[in-house]
A and B are shown apart, each in its own frame.
Chain A
Amino acid sequence: MNFLQQAFDFIFTAENWSGKAGLANRILEHLQYTFVAVAVSALIAIPIGLIIGHTRRGSFAVVTTVNALRALPTLGVLLLGVLLWGLGLLPPTVALTLLGVPPLLAGTYAGIANVDPKVADAARAMGMTEWRVLTRVEVPNALPLILGGLRTATLQIVATATVAAYASLGGLGRYLIDGIKVRQFYLALVGAVMVTLLALLLDGLLAAAVWASAPGTGRLRRWVPQPLLDDEVALVARPRGRTPDYSGRESSPTVEGW
């Protein structure tokens, strides 16, 4: 219990939070590595997942890639990256991106491919283009699984960003790895506690996002207005001649002032 006491004393002492090696700065560094890597993974994995899920071609390639990337050791890639490209943001970003791509790709692909084909066909029958089938029908239905993939990716990246410190970079791993190196185990514990809190916080936020994105519940509508869809409906359904009566419901105004 002694280490724990020391660790909490450290965390609750104000001067340990300020300065370049302070807790606040280390948390910001940790979040920076995390967000950059999550963003790059999303930019790579989501478009590929959308295309393969929509066309339903190449699913074998997805499964193989996902499994192979999962087996790739992040630490090895990170340290090799530092030896090859030197210190900086590039090695951790590459290593953590390789960690984040598999869950995002699997989530996006599974989300889109699991949308009931009848629903997509119904949308086609109503005259939607393939692009609109994807963006208006498949993506909203797949959103919980896509965000679930984002959640897993973020969780793994924020946990593993700790190892960046081993390659003389910053982040909360500094406490953990330096603490072990100099045998000050309470410092290692400070790192462990802070990383855990950060992971729980991010995971909670993303869990809320997954909950809000469940299709057909209208949870998302409360925060995100969706004017585009109404505009499209109004534009497509624009009557030639006289205005039909929408039984009391007014159609939303369009760009042309309808």
Chain B
Amino acid sequence: MRYLATHLDTAWALAMIHLRLSLIPVLLGLLIAVPLGAFVWRHTLLRRISTLAASIIFTIPSLALFVALPLIIPTRILDEANVIVALTLYTTALLVRAVPEALDAVPHHVRDAATAVGYTRLGQLLKIELPLSLPVLTAGLRVVAVTNISMVAVGSVIGIGGLGTWFTEGYQADKSDQIIAGIIATFLLAVVVDVLILLAGRLLAPWSAAEARTGRPKRRSKAAA
């Protein structure tokens, strides 16, 4: 605890690197996965292919991908870009499955009503279906963000910056208080990001909080795992 208190400025700097490495991929992944997921949603075959591709990508261990990426794209080994590209791949893989599932969760009668009042297919997607799928999408985003934060921490083993460097430094210097400080800082970072995404989701989709309180129109969600 004392280590964290006396090294607050270093912790802050490391946390910013950590956030940059783990959250830029979330934004890039969202930009790719939402249009892609909405596109494959209505095509059974494309959706099956994208789900399969996504689960294969997701199976590749992150450390392995960090190391293997420089062979596929023109970056140097141990470059920050590898981490960002690798985590973007994971984020996209996870979200490209979550987006169609989130769209599935939109109730049929709402969709039919939108068709009945004359929305075009694109307008319906943008104004009705995507906004209504926000609560399910937010749940997926929270998992992605927390997973990315822990993957960046593991990356310190192969020399990636961020709060994980306190683990490797503390281990080499035999200082357990530095490791404990790193655990606390990483944990707090993940919790803060998780809560912020949760609150953003509540703000953008205020009805989800009301539903959770009254528990009325409960949708049966597939397990978050």
Chain A residues at the B interface, C-beta cutoff of 8 Å: 1, 3-4, 67-68, 70-77, 79-80, 82-84, 102-103, 106-107, 110-111, 114, 145, 148-149, 152, 155, 158-160, 162-163, 166-167, 173, 176-177, 179-180, 185, 188-189, 191-193, 195-196, 199-200, 203
Q: Is the CB of B194 within 8 A of A76?
A: no
Q: Nearest CB to that of B166 among chain A residues? A: A76
Chain B positions within 8 Å of A, measured between CB atoms, are 55-56, 58-65, 67-68, 71, 77-78, 143, 146-147, 149-150, 153-154, 156-159, 163-164, 166-168, 170-171, 174, 176, 179-180, 182-183, 186-187, 190-191, 194, 220, 222-225
One of A74, A162, A180, A191 near B150 (C-beta < 8 A): A74
Name the contact of A148 in the complex, choosing from B58, B68, B166, B225 (C-beta under 8 A): B225
Taking a contact as CB atoms under 8 Å apart, the answer to whether A71 and B224 are in contact is no
What are 15 A-B contacts with C-beta separation under 8 Å?
A70-B150, A73-B183, A75-B164, A77-B183, A79-B167, A79-B171, A110-B225, A145-B223, A166-B157, A177-B157, A188-B158, A189-B67, A191-B64, A192-B67, A200-B59
Interchain nearest-CB distance for B37 vs A (Å): 20
User: Which of A68, A75, A106 lies at the interface centre, i.e. has the most chain B CB atoms within 10 A of its CB?
Assistant: A75
Q: Are B176 and A83 in contact (CB under 8 A)?
A: yes
Q: Which chain A residue has the least Cβ–Cβ distance from B159? A: A180
Give the distance in Å from the alpha carbon of A176 to the alpha carbon of B189 in the complex.
28
Residue pairs across A and B with CB atoms within 8 Å: the count is 153
Give bound CA distance, A68 to B171, whole Å. Answer: 24
Q: What is the CA–CA distance of A84 and B170 in the complex, to the nearest angstrom?
A: 12
Rounded to whole Å, the gap between the CB of A21 and the closest CB of chain B is 19
Min Cβ gap B72→A in Å is: 10
Instruction: State whether A82 and B154 are in contact (beta carbons under 8 Å apart), knowing that A71-B190, A106-B224 are contacts in the complex.
Output: no
Q: Is the CB of A110 within 8 A of B59?
A: no
Distance between Cα atoms of A145 and B221 in the complex (Å): 12
Is the pair B168, A166 in contact by a Cβ cutoff of 8 Å? yes
Tell me whether B64 and A196 are in contact (CB under 8 A): yes
A192 contacts B154, C-beta separation under 8 Å: no
Within 8 Å by CB of A71, from B150, B164, B225, lies B150
Decide if A110 touches B64 in the complex (CB within 8 Å): no
Q: Which residue of A lies closest to B181 (CB)?
A: A76
A192 touching B63, Cβ below 8 Å: yes
| Cβ B171 vs Cβ A82 within 8 A | yes
Question: CA A189 – CA B66 in complex, angstroms?
Answer: 10
Q: Which residues of A contact B166 (CB under 8 A)?
A: 76
State how many angstroms separate the Cβ of A153 from the closest Cβ of chain B: 9
Which of A114, A145, A195 sits near B63, CB closer than 8 Å? A195
* A76-B182, A82-B171, A180-B158 known; A195+B223 contact, CB < 8 A: no
- Chain A residues, CB < 8 A from B64: 159, 162, 176, 191-193, 195-196
Tell me, rounded to whole Å, the shortest Cβ–Cβ distance linking B1 to chain A: 14
Smallest CB–CB gap between A96 and chain B, Å? 12
Whether B61 lies near A196 (C-beta < 8 A) is yes
Partner of A76, one of B71, B183, B191: B183
Question: In the bound complex, how far is the Cα of B158 from the Cα of A177, in angstroms?
Answer: 7
User: Which 10 residue pairs are nearest across A and B when measured between Cβ atoms?
Assistant: A159-B61, A71-B190, A192-B64, A110-B223, A76-B183, A79-B171, A73-B153, A106-B225, A73-B186, A103-B225
Min CB distance B133 to A, Å, is: 20
A67-B194 in contact (CB<8A) = yes
Q: Indicate if the CB atoms of A1 and B225 lie closer than 8 Å.
A: no
Rounded to whole Å, the gap between the CB of A152 and the closest CB of chain B is 5
**B224 contacts which of A110, A177, A189 (Cβ < 8 Å)?**
A110
Select one of B67, B78, B171 contacting A176, CB under 8 A.
B67
Complexed CA–CA distance, A83 and B179 (Å): 10
**Are B157 and A199 in touch, CB under 8 angstroms?**
no
Chain B residue nearest in CB terms to A180: B158
User: Are A199 and B60 in contact (CB-based, < 8 A)?
Assistant: yes
Question: Given contacts A73-B187, A193-B64, are A114 and B220 in contact (CB under 8 A)?
Answer: yes
Cβ of B157: which chain A residues have Cβ within 8 Å of it? Answer: 75, 163, 166, 177
Complex Cα distance, B182 from A80, in Å, reads: 10
